[in-house]
A and B are shown apart, each in its own frame.
Chain A
Amino acid sequence: MTKPGVDLTPYLRQEMMPTVWCPGCGHGIIARSIATALMELGLDMDLVAIVGGIGCSGRAPFYFDANSMHTTHGRALAYATGLKMVNPGLTVIVPMGDGDAAAIGGNHLIHAARRNIDITAIIFNNSIYGMTGGQGAPTSPVDSRSTTSPLGSIEPAFDMVELALAAGATYVARTTTFDFQEMPKLITGAIRHHGFSLVEVLSQCPTYYGRLNKLGEAPDMLLYERDRTKLLEAFGPAPEITREEMVGQMPIGLFRDAERPEYIDQYHGLVARAGGGK
């Protein structure tokens, strides 16, 4: 956690405060963790780009005093890919919602992971479409209620960590807004990591998900996040975890921190071979 008295305001765009996020929303906790990570890393905000998509999480770029880009729904990683490739000196962070990452923009997510491009994706996963008023998402658990699954969802939820691991992301972590002390560490590690990094944060939406699923107020939902997750270390060696074991106790922690050739490095090698180096 940020030490008391530490001032994060230099990292935030004061003229855009207060945020659009509802009282009790978990997204502010994630934004604070990102700001904390930026401070921990001592990054020059002239060289930080926050590239978001559409939805509640998509507003995050407005709140950082950085190079901010609020793109189209699901396409933030594709925008970020072009941006990072021509300007590798930028630290590019992509806040994404469930819809951005798991639905409309899923294609860009798996290909960014496959390429292992040095971008940090942070999924603000609140299991629902909040900005449009509480519709079901690919991340909504089976049986959960939403305005488009009023009788309960019959679709299994996407496990974004499994997806990222399978697609080749080289830094993959999951945490929750309850774990507010752990989150900045994981995000710091993700930004520092050279390659495609993804941190999924289970966040609470008391306004829609909480109300429709009778999970109480924001504090109750934080406890719900605590109770439905379990530290990865508690499962024993990673290969022995089966999907069945994870039901009701979603593992959180750092799933992968590995090295693999990074995409822009590879491209620069190709340029050198082609004789195009400056």
Chain B
Amino acid sequence: MRLVQGNEAVALAAVHAGCNFYSGYPITPATEIMEMMARQMPKTGGVFIQMEDEIGSIAAAIGAAWGGAKAMTATSGPGFSLMQENIGYACMTQTPVVIVDSQRGGPSTGLPTLPAQGEVMQARYGTHGDHEVIVLTASSVVEAYRMTVEAFNLAETYRLPVILLLDAVLSHMRENVEFPDVPVRQRQKPIFDENFLPFGPDAPFVPFGSGHHTVVTGMSHDETGLPKALAGQAVQRILQGVAERMRQDAREITFYREVSLDDADIVLLTFGITARAAREAVGLLRADGLKAGLLDIQTLWPFPDWLVQEKTANARGILVPELNLGQYVMPVRATIAGRCPVEALGRMDGELFTPEALVDAAKKLAASVEIGGVAHD
């Protein structure tokens, strides 16, 4: 057991996952990841570089990926906004890269040292054009460690940018942890012949210098990588293929935790730091006689609609508390499609939800759907 900070756990996990390139730019509350990597990378023979801005950071990380590295960058809201165009480049070029966004209050400079969950939609849709990404989140230091390793693994498997959403509290809090031994997906040595299609279905990621003269472009291109005629159809085919693969693997790539869902009338559906208060709230509600449960989703995107359906099948009301004014509640509502009330509970004042606030909101929701046996204040 040792006392570890959230940001420190991310850096240690990255090293465990085989990360050998880090580029970044200082920003609160993500800076400690960069400071840790500045020490860790030289020690492990990896590359660390402090870039001139966040645009350069993500660009260098993608360039390093094509140089053969497992690459990562980390930032917070303002830097994450700057990275969006080049995240799209990674999507278009099917480049494995990990991006950590420790969310702070926004918009703009916002509340640099206080937590938020304002980038749920930006992480999914922030870059222009339609695309696929994977977005993970965590609610504890040990989870931050595990999800960082999984981010690298998923980036390798699907050749996609994988975004890990933390927040200012998780980044800076310290917990006593024993790091789990999370398996690492090793990159296979590329095998290719003259018919090799660098962007074909399930094509291995073949970095520069391997002998294949790959063309990497952000322009629409076909499986050869070249922006030939009908490239629009080709890129739709390629990206839909990625989406389909993730859909087939949904049960493997969707991380979540649940508490007392089997008989739950009211489901608290949370993610990230909010899950901590929700866990306690479920206990308090149960003690008060309300059958409450928790679905804590760690793979935010692709949206696990199947999971939400399964786990809330008998729910009579769903409460979605989040540190924004109502983002993740939108796909939840779309999935539930009126089957039961889906109540948003949002705040963006830099404060976390207390368990009591969640208890109150859950009781109100219960009363509105006429669940009896609940004492109301």
Contact = CB atoms under 8 A, between A and B. Distances in A.
Interface of A: 13, 15-16, 45-47, 49, 51, 61-62, 65-72, 75, 78-87, 89-90, 107-108, 111, 267, 270-271, 273-278
Contacts of A275: 43
A86 B64 contact: yes
A6 to B, nearest CB: 21
17 contacts: A49-B209, A62-B217, A68-B216, A70-B216, A71-B59, A72-B86, A75-B59, A82-B47, A82-B49, A82-B65, A82-B67, A83-B66, A85-B67, A111-B56, A267-B42, A273-B42, A276-B46
Contacts, number: 144
B85 A107 contact: no
A interface majority secondary structure: helix
A67 B227 CA distance: 15
A111 to B, nearest CB: 4
Interface residues on B, range: 35 or more
Given A51-B63, A89-B209, A278 B21 contact: no
Interface in B41-65: 41-47, 49, 51-53, 55-57, 59-65
B208 A45 contact: no
Contact of B68 (A87, A271, A277, A278): A87
B214 interface: yes
Contacts of A75: 55-56, 59, 86
A274 B43 contact: yes
B369 interface: no
Interface of B: 20-21, 23, 41-47, 49, 51-53, 55-57, 59-69, 71, 85-86, 89, 207-209, 211, 213-219, 226-227
3 A-B pairs with the lowest CB-CB distances in the bound complex, closest first? A82-B63, A82-B60, A82-B64
Contact of A82 (B42, B59, B85): B59
Contacts of B62: 79, 82
B interface majority secondary structure: mixed
Contact of B45 (A72, A87, A278): A278
Nearest to A117: B49
Contacts of B66: 67, 69, 79, 83
Contacts of A61: 215, 217
B208 A79 contact: no
A277 B45 contact: yes
B226 A65 contact: no
A114 to B, nearest CB: 9
Contacts of A83: 63-64, 66-67, 208
Given A49-B208, A82-B59, A87-B209, A69 B44 contact: no
B49 A70 contact: no
B44 A86 contact: no
A78 B59 contact: yes
A247 to B, nearest CB: 32
Contacts of A107: 52-53, 56
B68 to A, nearest CB: 6
Given A84-B67, A85-B67, A90 B209 contact: yes
